Amino acid sequence: MKALVFKRYGRPDQVAFVDTPRPVPKPNEILVQVNAAGLNPIDNMIPKGTFKPILRFRLPATLGSDLAGVVVEVGNRVTRFKPGDAVFASVFDLSGTGALAEFATVPENAAALKPANLDFVQAASIPMVGLTSWQALRERARLQPGQKVFIPAGAGGIGTFAIQLAKYLGAKVGTTTSTGNLDLVRSLGADEVIDYKKQQFEDVLRGYDAVLGTIRGDAIEKSLRILKPGSAIVSLVGPPDAAFARARGMNAFMVFLFGLLSRKILRRAKVSRAAYSFLFVHPDGSQLAELGELLGAGHIRPVIDKVFPFEQAKAALAYLETGRAKGKVVVQIR
């Protein structure tokens, strides 16, 4: 089968298409013929070595974190799926093969049935942004009806999904975007929209209960100015904290290092009477099934910017890295 792999860390020229044997599912895995793969920023960061302390890959490794396709084989312990089932899943943090391949193995507990009203391209755009939004807003921030949440970069992959989920949960949403995307984020349900080319969000927004940290730099520290006491900051971009290192089972040195990296923001959050935490999304088929129900009922809709054919997967990754995508970028494999 054909797959897009990276052979060494840190060198773009080490990302290439190869012919590789079709993977064989383990007893608790399903083998999926991949129809489409949704791209995420982590797909460009992994081959650069950004996540080497967190994610371990046996090189060469297949790229791609999200997929949608059809089950063609199941392990002898699998009970939830059968050949012919249409599924979607996130596979970036798992031992199976990546999504940018003609076939991929997926642990049974990481997959869910594809919503019937979505095609494979739409379904492939969902897993990581959907799970990230769910785990950040429902589990970590515990967002309640009537609360206010700030979700910056509302026109991006995470933003377009998180805004819709927050609105479904009954929250009021503030966001930032460029002039050309104001109508898009408003159509998704954003209540307070800041054109970042004309205003600074920290000068306008006030009384927020939660912040989803999606922008690197000093945006998280600035967001402390818009929060009320007892609020929550859930960061997807760091700095990672000691609690995260412990949850990942890292050694004492990494716990100490991450504690050191997060000390400044933790101290400032405490002064503002806010709780800071770093979130690294984990695959979860049961959560994906719940998201599938919301998608199936039309409460949330996929937002897709561009679809690339499989042979242009490297161009798709390059386009994603420009940061100009409105919603998701997807690679169509079949």
pLDDT, tens digit (0-9, with 9 covering 90-100), for 11-59: 777 899 999 999 999 999 999 999 999 999 999 998 888 888 788 788 8
Per-residue confidence (pLDDT) for residue 208, from 0 to 100: 98
Q: Where do the domains of the chain lie, and which CATH numbers do they carry?
A: 2-126+302-332 (3.90.180.10), 129-278 (3.40.50.720)
Per-residue confidence (pLDDT) for residue 176, from 0 to 100: 97
- Distance from C-alpha of 101 to C-alpha of 90, rounded to nearest angstrom: 14
- Distance from C-alpha of 200 to C-alpha of 203, rounded to nearest angstrom: 6
pTM: 0.94
Ranges of the chain whose pLDDT falls below 50: none
Instruction: Count how many Cα atoms sit within 13 Å of the Cα of residue 194 in the half-sphere of its side chain.
Output: 17
Contact 174, 201 (CB under 8 A): yes
Per-residue confidence (pLDDT) for residue 94, from 0 to 100: 63
Per-residue confidence (pLDDT) for residue 119, from 0 to 100: 98
Per-residue confidence (pLDDT) for residue 266, from 0 to 100: 94
Per-residue confidence (pLDDT) for residue 52, from 0 to 100: 80
- Provide the 3-class DSSP secondary structure of residue 328: strand
Per-residue confidence (pLDDT) for residue 96, from 0 to 100: 54
The crossing angle, in degrees rounded to 10, of helices 157-168 and 127-134 is 50
Q: Quick: pLDDT tens for 81-102.
A: 999 999 999 998 765 579 999 9
Return the DSSP state at 101. B
Per-residue confidence (pLDDT) for residue 178, from 0 to 100: 95
Q: Which of 41, 9, 89, 65 is nearest to 317 (CA)?
A: 41
Per-residue confidence (pLDDT) for residue 56, from 0 to 100: 77
Per-residue confidence (pLDDT) for residue 50, from 0 to 100: 83
Return the DSSP state at 156. S
Residue 37: CB atoms within 10 Å: 34
Q: Which of 180, 200, 211, 181 is nearest to 278 (CA)?
A: 211
Instruction: Indicate the residue type of 58.
Output: R
- CA 55, 123, 165, 217 torsion-angle sign: positive
36 has which bridge partners?
A: 68, 332
Per-residue confidence (pLDDT) for residue 215, from 0 to 100: 87
